């Protein structure tokens, strides 16, 4: 009987494991990219692999838009076996061939079936043979008559090819199959030719480099038409992956750097911030209509098609006649095609770091288009002082402006004025990029509110972020002395060190939302204080002496105040009696969720600051914390231990919700 139970347990375990390994994705591309590595060793994956092998033509390529996971009949298998000898419909359009090669690589990593390796290498050979002498690739190979012969950037076709060849040429471990040295050398040459083609096809508008078209003529390299509604134009979507590919190249040439900078300038010039797409869905969730609505300061989007000379967006029906707005074309094309894209945002987000890495500087001729400023004490940047860099940033820019600060100790008070929205301070490293000053209440001596003038860094501009910095107030234990003061909305502080004593971090601003992640925050009394809604995730909160961690002044009726999630509360050895918080104002809200609390935290946890009304109105709570300092049974009676259903409401979306969605990402 005992032996039988063991077999039953083993059977259930195997069944459970098999269920977890089962594919749950419906689309072929999702099956390839979203399943974990172990799934590619399952019987289900092996069965699909047989289909993929059947669909591959002997020439090495695959047809497009095939759901390879669907079970095949015996007749379909015979038909595919017959088709293997042909080159019918082999293409790289819509991800074809490139995604099947990735599938075979993932299969071979789990199952050393040499047919998988041979399939991948045959696909690679197909890609190398399909390349034009000028470095471009057609949409179909062997060549298919019509616009299919054009060099095809459409739907990222050529970029997908080059990304494969780049991994092979660089001999990375991205693909599990290792080609011969001969193929690696061919790949290096093919990649370089492909990049040269990209540089030569970048469109010049009155002598100024801009972006790329979805198709370029394979002989003249000029923008070319495709389908009737796909006229020659500059593409906001296809140009994105091209630029990201160029940015991925180590030690880029001067020509590549120029191409990237020119494209970024074009993206900035052509962004649209006064429109948003609204989709109308039926009961089944299918899009039945698309409408563009007017907004103010919307998140930037770009048109798929822009006039080659004016950059003006245009739209076409199957009659090939340009229209100026989406509502001027029929519903079939309006709803069945992607006319706008937000893809270039990724380029604009990554460009500042790329620019710093590749030694580019901000030009001084046109400050209104500044997107990156470098600060370096040795004079190698644009400025030697952070505040001077802030003064050089444009007011209320549409896109982020990054001030990159190289390592050094910057002894200065820094203010980010209200007009300097969308500003990023990014240090070279949090340990060695230090902003430091020593103001305190007595030194300022400006009356009873002197505390609020002591900050080393004052942030008043909305949509600010800082990372990789140490921000400190060095005045010592001499009363109130703020290191970082934030009186703005939608502020993100990541991977920073905040050092001070009393009142290290002040958080305020009308209905302000602020987000701290992976930070170290140190102080003595009330060293995190103010009335903003603020979320702290994965932070270390360190008490220097016995006192109070927080002093919230949450306004009445505010849903959340200070929320600490997955944080660690630590202390110096001399700090043995530390309160989690006390109410600066009687409606204070502070919650600790799944935090680790050291033994320095007093059993009662909270103090009312001699305000009996606070015991009725303040909201102090904890949930599922741990450590010697977490003693829920000994907490003051007027605090709370949340139930699971209550704690589930404390999501990042709920806490930081704002009219601008997902600003905290």
pLDDT tens readout for residues 393-403: 888 887 889 99
Class of domain 216-360 (CATH, top level)? mainly alpha
Question: In this structure, are residues 485 and 455 in contact, taking their beta carbons and an 8 Å threshold?
Answer: yes
Sequence-distant (≥ 6) Cβ neighbours of residue 283 within 8 angstroms: none
Q: How far apart are CA 417 and CA 220, in angstroms?
A: 51
Q: Dihedral sign, CA of 480, 482, 485, 491?
A: negative
Is residue 64's pLDDT more than 60? yes
SS3 content of the chain, % helix, strand, coil (to 5): 30, 20, 45
- Residues belonging to the active site: 503, 526
pLDDT tens digits, 218-260: 999 999 999 999 999 999 999 999 999 999 999 999 899 999 9
Q: How far apart are CA 501 and CA 475, in angstroms?
A: 8
| More reliable by pLDDT, 616 or 277 | 616
What pLDDT sits at residue 360? Answer: 63
Q: How far apart are CA 159 and CA 171, in angstroms?
A: 18
Question: In this structure, are residues 424 and 466 in contact, taking their beta carbons and an 8 Å threshold?
Answer: yes
Give the chain's count of helices (H) and strands (E).
Answer: 17, 36
- Average pLDDT rounded to a whole number, residues 590-609: 98
| Direct distance between the N- and C-terminal alpha carbons of the chain, in angstroms, rounded to an integer | 56
Q: How far apart are CA 510 and CA 508, in angstroms?
A: 7
Overall size of the chain counted in residues: 665
Lowest mean pLDDT segment, chosen from 37-46, 289-298, 358-367: 358-367
Is residue 11's pLDDT more than 90? no
Annotated domain spans of the chain: 20-201, 216-360, 508-665
Q: In what order do the strands lie in the sheet with 408-411?
A: 408-411, 433-437, 470-473, 497-499, 520-523, 540-543, 568-571, 596-597
Mapped onto helix, strand or coil, the DSSP state of residue 55 is: helix
| Short-list 432, 444, 526, 508, CA closest to 472 | 432
This prediction has a pTM of 0.59
Q: How far apart are CA 183 and CA 171, in angstroms?
A: 11
Going by the DSSP 8-state scheme, the letter that residue 308 receives in this structure is T
| Short-list 22, 116, 123, 27, CA closest to 70 | 27
| 537: number of Cβ within 10 Å | 18
Is residue 362's pLDDT more than 70? no
Mapped onto helix, strand or coil, the DSSP state of residue 11 is: helix
What pLDDT sits at residue 21? Answer: 59
Going by the DSSP 8-state scheme, the letter that residue 300 receives in this structure is P
> Residue 78 belongs to what H/E stretch?
helix 74-83
| Short-list 634, 644, 630, 625, CA closest to 600 | 630
Is residue 491's pLDDT more than 50? yes
- Average pLDDT rounded to a whole number, residues 578-587: 98
Apex CA 81: angle with CA 80 and CA 82, to 5°? 90
Apex CA 281: angle with CA 276 and CA 283, to 5°? 160
Q: What percent of the chain has pLDDT over 90?
A: 80
Going by the DSSP 8-state scheme, the letter that residue 363 receives in this structure is -
Q: How far apart are CA 264 and CA 210, in angstroms?
A: 8
Q: Give the right CATH number for 20-201 from 3.60.70.12, 1.10.10.10, 1.50.10.20, 3.40.50.880.
A: 1.50.10.20
Q: What is the mean pLDDT of the chain?
A: 92
What pLDDT sits at residue 104? Answer: 98
- Average pLDDT rounded to a whole number, residues 300-317: 94
Task: Confirm whether 20-201 and 216-360 share one CATH topology.
Answer: yes
What pLDDT sits at residue 2? Answer: 43
CATH 2.160.20.10 fits 508-665, yes or no: yes
Alpha helices for 453-597 (secondary structure H):
none
Lowest mean pLDDT segment, chosen from 336-340, 457-461, 521-525, 633-637: 336-340
Tokens at residue 276, please?
A: 């948003």
| More reliable by pLDDT, 20 or 534 | 534
């Amino acid at each position: 009987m005992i032996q039988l139970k063991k077999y039953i347990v083993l059977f259930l375990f195997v069944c459970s494991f098999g269920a977890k390994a089962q594919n749950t994705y419906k689309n072929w591309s999702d099956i390839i990219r979203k399943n974990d590595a172990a799934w590619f060793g399952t019987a289900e994956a092996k069965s699909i692999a047989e289909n993929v092998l059947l669909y591959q033509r002997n020439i090495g390529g695959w047809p497009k838009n095939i759901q390879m996971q669907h079970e095949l009949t015996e007749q379909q298998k015979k038909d595919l076996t017959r088709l293997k000898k042909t080159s019918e419909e082999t293409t790289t359009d819509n991800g074809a061939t490139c995604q099947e090669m990735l599938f075979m690589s993932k299969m071979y990593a789990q199952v050393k079936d040499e047919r998988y390796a041979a399939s991948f290498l045959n696909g690679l050979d197909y890609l190398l043979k399909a390349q034009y002498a000028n470095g471009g690739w057609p949409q179909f190979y062997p060549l298919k008559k019509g616009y299919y012969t054009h060099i095809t950037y459409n739907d990222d076709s050529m970029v997908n090819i080059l990304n494969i060849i780049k991994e092979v040429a660089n001999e990375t471990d991205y693909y599990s199959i290792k080609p011969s040295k001969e193929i690696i050398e061919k790949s290096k040459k093919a990649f370089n030719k492909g990049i040269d083609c990209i540089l030569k096809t970048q469109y010049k508008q009155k002598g100024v480099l801009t972006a790329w078209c979805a198709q370029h003529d394979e002989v003249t390299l000029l923008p070319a038409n495709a389908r009737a509604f796909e006229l020659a134009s500059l593409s906001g979507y296809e140009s994105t992956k091209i630029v990201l590919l160029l940015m991925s190249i180590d030690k880029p040439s001067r020509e590549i750097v120029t191409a990237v900078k020119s494209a970024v300038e074009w993206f900035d010039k052509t962004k649209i911030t006064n429109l948003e797409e609204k989709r109308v869905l039926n009961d089944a969730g299918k899009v039945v209509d698309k409408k563009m609505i007017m907004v103010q300061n919307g998140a930037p989007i770009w048109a798929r098609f822009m006039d080659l000379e004016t950059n003006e967006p245009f739209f076409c029906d199957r009659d090939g006649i340009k229209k100026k707005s989406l509502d001027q074309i029929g519903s079939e094309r309006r709803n069945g095609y992607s006319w706008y894209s937000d893809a270039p945002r990724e380029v604009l987000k990554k460009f500042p770091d790329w620019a710093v890495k590749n030694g580019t500087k901000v030009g001084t001729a046109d400050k209104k288009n500044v997107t990156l400023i470098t600060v370096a004490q040795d004079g190698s940047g644009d400025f030697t002082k952070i505040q001077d860099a802030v003064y050089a940033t444009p007011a209320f820019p549409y896109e982020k402006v990054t001030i990159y600060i190289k390592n050094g100790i910057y002894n200065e008070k820094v203010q980010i004025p209200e007009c300097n929205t969308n500003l990023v301070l990014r240090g070279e490293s949090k340990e060695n990029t230090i902003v430091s000053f020593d103001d305190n209440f007595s030194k300022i001596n400006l009356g009873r509110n002197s505390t609020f003038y002591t900050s080393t860094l004052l942030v008043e501009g909305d949509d600010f972020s800082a990372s990789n910095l140490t921000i400190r107030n060095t005045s010592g234990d001499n009363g109130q002395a703020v290191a970082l003061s934030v009186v703005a909305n939608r502020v993100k502080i990541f991977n920073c060190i905040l050092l001070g004593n009393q009142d290290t971090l002040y958080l305020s601003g009308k209905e302000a939302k602020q987000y701290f992640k992976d930070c170290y925050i140190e102080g003595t009394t009330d060293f995190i204080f103010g009335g903003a809604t603020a979320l702290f995730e994965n932070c270390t909160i360190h008490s220097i002496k016995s006192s109070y961690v927080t002093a919230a002044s949450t306004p009445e009726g505010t849903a959340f105040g200070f929320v600490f999630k997955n944080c660690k509360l630590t202390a110096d050895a001399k700090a043995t009696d530390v309160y989690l918080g006390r109410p600066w104002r009687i409606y204070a809200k502070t919650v600790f969720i799944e935090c680790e609390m050291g033994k320095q935290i007093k059993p009662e946890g909270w103090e009312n600051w001699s305000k009996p009304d606070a015991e009725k109105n303040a909201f102090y709570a904890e949930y599922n914390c741990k450590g010697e300092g977490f003693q829920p049974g000994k907490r003051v009676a007027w605090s709370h231990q949340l139930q699971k259903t209550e704690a589930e409401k404390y999501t990042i979306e709920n806490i930081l919700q704002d009219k601008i969605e997902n600003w905290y990402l």
